[in-house]
Amino acid sequence: MGIPRALLVLCIATAFLSLGPRGSLGRSHLRKKQQSHGRRGNGGHRLQSPVDSPADPPAAGTSTTVTPSNSSSDSFVFDVRSFGAVGDGVTDDTEAFRSAWRAACSVESATLFVPSDGVFMITSTIFPGPCQPGLVFQVDGVVMPPDGPQCWPKSDSKHQWLVFYQLEGMTLRGEGTIEGNGEDWWSLPCKPHRGPHGSTLPGSCDSPVLIRFFMSCNLTVRDLRIENSPQFHIKFDACEDVHIEGLSINSPAFSPNTDGVHIENTRSVTIYNSMISNGDDCISIGPGCSDVDIQNVTCGPGHGISIGSLGMHNSEACVSNVSVKNAVIRNSDNGVRIKTWQGGMGSVSDISFDTVYMENVRNCIIIDQYYCSNKGYCQNQSSAVYVSGVTYANIKGTYDVRSPPMHFACSDTLPCTNITMSEVELLPHEGELVDDPFCWNAYGVMRTVTIPPIPCLQDGQPESLQEIPNLGC
């Protein structure tokens, strides 16, 4: 019996030793650096990143188990500090952000995390896709560009700062601030009335859009504070399925060209529950946009909610199915506006402004088909963007008496048609009632009596428009 027992012990020992090198070999594939860029496996272990990921993980940097606000416990978090970011507001943290992006982009349900205790300065950067699904860019601290044109690297684009390109299913969110440092850009002498004695000097006047999404889809931007952009605060170009909610956008009323949210060539957009104050359009809708739903947005000061400008340089512009509902516009140069250039082509159709409250607003309701950013330098042209099917319902509040509260300046050759007015009641914020709204070549119907009355809106269809023109839309 002793000999068999010894043989058994020897066999067990031999088997154990034979397993040792295999276990060591397995561990050699999970080096510390690689381990930090992986996915969570069953049981919470972190596994190496997939080989077929669109962006290779960097050689340095580690992930963190810090849980940012609003994040899922299942997400894998990449703190920019783990990739070398300092966050003192002075050090250039660009490369750390790029490295963190490459790592997060390669992992499903990843979060690039900007912690709340830092101010991170980065230069103009493109964050490219495609990335693995479920990517979140979480800003809980402050992220900002260099301070003005004098500090802007000469090699960097002056057209844009942060660009998110070719992404699907990405979320930009957080409890922090994206700070634009736009003050010195606004003061350039080429900006409107910023030259000597209030002049506007000629020459290049490039200023960066703060955040741009380009050729991307299924996007969410929410809960951030974005402020003091050199130019547009956030822009969506050639995108689809965009959801914006809970944004706070702020810049001074004197800051030029600082549109809050701008969209162009973009479809299926929702903008909800946001507050925007700036020096230009609160929300601007450019050419190529359709299926846009805006609800519970507060604007002002600024230039109100605008469709356009459209048709610049004799271009074609098509905008359709836009709804604005439950909005508030305060202390603004315009309320709800459609603006097109002479000489353009295309159409604006199926537009609804419903339940909009105005407070001390000039040009509360305006269609301007003679828009010209350089007054006196635009030629009269016969072609125009065709405006039809615009509804104004339950538009109430007060207006600045320096301008009539309603202004319909439609094209000589292509009248505005199917304008519907219902429950429009606008009173002077101060001073006497202005009871002479302006109309030119505008046709539609008043469902109810308006205050002030608008007798210049013509009934029916114009005789000159026997059939709908070929719009190209």
Which two tokens mark 191?
A: 């900006």
Task: Please report the pLDDT score of residue 67 as a whole number.
Answer: 52
* Whether residue 338 has pLDDT greater than 60: yes
Q: Which of 230, 269, 273 is nearest to 252 (CA)?
A: 230
Confidence of residue 40 (pLDDT cuts 50, 70, 90): very low
* Strand 39-40 to 46-47 pairing: antiparallel
Sheet of strand 406-409: strand arrangement: 125-128, 160-165, 209-214, 234-237, 261-264, 283-285, 305-310, 336-340, 365-368, 406-409, 438-440
Q: What is the rounded average pLDDT for all residues in the chain?
A: 86
* Whether residue 57 has pLDDT greater than 60: no
The phi, psi pair for 47, rounded to 5°, reads -105, 160
29 belongs to the catalytic site = no
Contacts of 1 (CB under 8 A, 6+ apart): none
245-255 exposure pattern, b = at least 16 Cβ within 10 A, e = fewer = bebebbbebeb
Confidence of residue 106 (pLDDT cuts 50, 70, 90): very high
Confidence of residue 5 (pLDDT cuts 50, 70, 90): very low
Segment 242-301, tens digit of pLDDT: 999 999 999 999 999 999 999 999 999 999 999 999 999 999 999 999 999 999 999 999
Assigned CATH for 76-187+206-373+381-465: 2.160.20.10
| Distance in angstroms (rounded) separating the CA atoms of residues 216 and 236 | 9
Which two tokens mark 133?
A: 């699904």
Catalytic position from the list 303, 313, 407, 429:
303
Confidence of residue 4 (pLDDT cuts 50, 70, 90): very low
Q: Tokens 């202004």 appear where?
A: 407
Q: 11-20, 167-176, 182-191, 381-390: which has the minimum mean pLDDT?
A: 11-20
The sign of the dihedral angle between the CA atoms of 419, 425, 429, 435 is positive
Q: 86-95, 167-176, 196-205: which has the minimum mean pLDDT?
A: 196-205
Q: What is the 3-state secondary structure of the chain?
A: CHHHHHHHHHHHHHHHHHHHHHHHHHHHCCCHHHHCCCEECHHHCEECCCCCCCCCCCCCCCCECCCCCCCCCCCEEEEHHHHCCCCEEEEECHHHHHHHHHHHHCCCCEEEEECCCCEEECCCEEEECCCCCCCEEEECCEEECCCCHHHCCCCCCCCEEEEEECCECCEEECCCEEECCCHHHHCCCCCCCCCHHHCCCCCCCCCCEEEEEECCEEEEEECCEEECCCCCCEEEECCEEEEEECCEEECCCCCCCCCCEEEECCEEEEEEEEEEECCCCCEEECCCEEEEEEEEEEECCECCEEEEEECHHHCEEEEEEEEEEEEEEECECCCEEEEECCCCEEEEEEEEEEEEEEEEECCCEEEECCCCCCCCCCCCCCCCCEEEEEEEEEEEEEECCCCCCEEEECCCCCCEEEEEEEEEEEEECCCCCCCCCEEECEEEEECCCCECCCCCCECCCCCCCCCCCCCCC
| Distance in angstroms (rounded) separating the CA atoms of residues 437 and 317 | 27
Segment 150-164, tens digit of pLDDT: 999 999 999 999 999
Q: Where are the domains of the chain?
A: 76-187+206-373+381-465
